[in-house]
Structure 1
Amino acid sequence: MTLDMVSRGQEVVIKSIKSKNARIYALRFGINEGSRVKCIAKINNGPVILRKNHQEIAIGQGFAKEIEVEAQK
């Protein structure tokens, strides 16, 4: 599943980041393969807002579709 498919409140682990631009953007905020993040908000046709270690980041839908994740229990 890709990041744009996650639900609010869901925790996921980043499995892969497909494009170079998305990888660079994510790395600026300390997000890479293996990172565990929580979706705190999802705006219809807009960004997915993630939290990692007390930091929040908004990922646009275009980038979110480039990031493969695995749901955590």
Structure 2
Amino acid sequence: MSEVLADVGSGESVRLVAVPDGDTRARLLRLGFLDGAVECRHHIRKGPVIVRRNGTDLALGADLAAEIEIERPRAEASD
């Protein structure tokens, strides 16, 4: 089962990897939110998820956040 943006807690960094709606995907791409890690600034219970990338905050509704698949950064292996 894939993780979605709605599963992310405040302060976590993730990559948005799958956005189901083409128009929303295009908007996020133009704003630079699909080019790297985003930080979850606030996750309001049963409400929007506010993410930040390059100094820009963006609120994504709860329904949309439940559909956007994410990838968590992998921990670096230490020798």
| Fold shared, TM-score > 0.5 on shorter chain | yes
Higher strand proportion: 1
Q: Normalising by the residue count of structure 1, what TM-score does the alignment of the two structures yield? A: 0.83
Q: Using the alignment, how far apart are the partners of 1:60 and 1:28 within structure 2?
A: 19
Distance 2:43 2:26 in 1: 22
> Residue type matched to 2:17 in 1?
K
Percent identity, aligned pairs only?
Answer: 33
Map 1:1-73; keep pairs closer than 5 Å: 1-32=3-34, 34-72=35-73, 73=75
Cα distance in 1 for partners of 2:23, 2:43 equals 22
RMSD over aligned CA atoms reads: 1.6
Count of residue pairs the alignment pairs up: 72
Distance 1:50 1:9, change over 3 A: same
Secondary structure of the structure 2 residue equivalent to 1:44: coil
Q: Which runs of 5+ in 2 are unaligned?
A: none
After TM superposition, give the deviation of residue 22 of structure 1 in Å.
2.9
